[in-house]
Amino acid sequence: MTKLTCEKCDGKCCKYVAIEIDTPESLKDFDDIRWYVAHKNINVYVDDDYQWHVEFLTPCEHLGEDNLCQIYETRPKICREYNQDECPFHNVYEEKFTFRNIEDVDKYIREVFKKGKHVIKDEIED
């Protein structure tokens, strides 16, 4: 397989942190999502496997102005094990849903959750 190059990229993969979260199942859970996205630079998204994530749009302190890692030799394991198949520069991802603010969550509650169209990840894995 051809090794992908980072040459033309501005270090996209070093500019966010995404953490998996449980699928919200109640209005109380959705209210927590409303709270996350009420904060600046915080999104919640659902990937194409129906896994929910909270995403912090913030660059790593060790990304240099040249967009290269300044601590390459001692970078964390998660950076060493980064799979280029997940690279957001060379791949186009189609998220199922992205919530950037409280209005996005309220719309989802109205148009998806309350209409019974909400998908729980465990249900589709069975």
Provide the binding-site residues for ligand SF4, judged by CB under 6 A. 6, 9, 11-14, 60, 62-63, 69, 71, 75-76, 79, 84, 87-90
Give the residue with the Cβ less far from ligand SF4, 90 or 114: 90
Please give the structure tokens belonging to residue 28: 């109380």
In angstroms, the CA 112 to CA 106 distance is: 10
Residue 74 per-residue DSSP state: G
Q: How far is the CB of 65 from ligand SF4 (least distance, A)?
A: 12
* Under 8 Å between Cβ of 50 and 119: yes
Give the residue with the Cβ less far from ligand SF4, 13 or 18: 13
In angstroms, the CA 97 to CA 48 distance is: 9
Give the residue with the Cβ less far from ligand SF4, 12 or 53: 12
